[in-house]
Amino acid sequence: MLNKYPLWKYVLILAVLVVGFIYSAPNLYPDDSAIQISGASTALQVNQADVDRAAKALADAGISVKASSLAENGKGGLLRLSKQEDQLPAKDVVRKALGDDYVVALNLARTTPTWLRHLGASPMKLGLDLSGGVHFLLEVDMDKAIDARLKVYEGEVKSLLRKEKVRYRSLPQLGNVIQLGFTDDAEREQARALVRKTFTDFEITPAELNGIPVLRMALTPAKLAEIREYSIKQNLTTVRNRVNELGVAEPLVQRQGANRIVVELPGVQDTAEAKRILGKTANLEF
């Protein structure tokens, strides 16, 4: 006796297979070796003339270019190469042709057909293990961020005292503590009252230094935590902008712990160039 199933079940199985094939099809198209061009600064945009100049330089050097394209926002250009082994010499040729105002990086470019991309189909994310690329662990220099904020506060405190005609003497900063000297206890107490009223984020302590009345101002733990949090978020935003300059597909930029940022750039083969771009960010150490 033959097993018979309703027609709709066969149609459903066929539909699932067709959809599965469509959305797995992008994996059949290997990436092209490519040269990515972007401006060395965010103010500098790449135009079609720059891309054409780079393509002509490659042609003059005997390097075959499969295709070239320009990003719609003017943030970069892409030159697809016919041979993978041409990438390194192509990078040197393009860099010499465009000069130091442009960043030239090695990359991999998707070859998924337009109709598949319009359907939302994209290749499987292989990650660094399978596709290669660059992994950076960046550490935010929190001490530098706090010191910069303290210098701003110190300037504001001094401006307030000058405005109120309270005489003070500048003293070296003691770690994360601002120090100011005064001629007598009365002026110190006057300054203490002014600072306490205006700057609520300080823990203010009177002290003596070589017989001089001193006022020591330290940021509260809550304010220090706020500065650290702001610094990591600011650097995350800046790093993401730098990564966008590289034009990398499927980058990963995320926070790790209290003061570290993980950056993964699949397909990027030029570690030195990627580090140079990311290294423009202040308060970061590799």
Distances from the Cα of 201 to the Cαs of 48, 101, 121, 191, 260, in angstroms?
A: 52, 43, 52, 16, 26
Give the Cβ contact number of residue 142 at 10 Å: 16
Domains annotated on the chain, with CATH: 31-123 (3.30.70.260), 143-220 (3.30.1370), 223-279 (3.30.70.3400)
What pLDDT, on a 0 to 100 scale, did the predictor assign at position 286?
A: 43
CB 33 within 8 A of CB 86: yes
249-257: list long-range contacts, CB under 8 Å, 24+ apart. Answer: 249/108, 249/110, 250/125, 256/137
Phi, psi of 172 (to 5 degrees): -60, 145
| CA distance from start to end of the chain | 71
**What residues form DSSP beta bridges with 108?**
33
pLDDT number for residue 110:
82
Cβ atoms within 10 Å of 126's Cβ, excluding its own: 15
User: pLDDT 10s digit of each residue in the chain, 286 long?
Assistant: 456 788 888 899 999 999 999 989 988 888 888 888 888 777 788 888 888 999 999 999 999 998 888 876 667 888 999 888 888 889 889 989 988 888 887 777 888 888 888 888 888 777 666 667 788 888 888 988 899 999 999 999 999 999 999 999 999 988 889 999 999 999 999 999 999 999 988 999 999 988 899 999 999 999 999 999 999 998 898 888 877 766 666 788 889 988 899 888 876 766 666 777 676 654 555 4
Alpha helices in 61-164 (DSSP H): 87-98, 114-118, 127-131, 142-163
Q: How many residues belong to the chain?
A: 286
Give the pLDDT score at 285: 52
Tell me if 35 sits within 8 A of 104, measured CB to CB.
yes
H helical segments located in the chain: 7-24, 48-60, 87-98, 114-118, 127-131, 142-163, 185-198, 221-246, 271-278
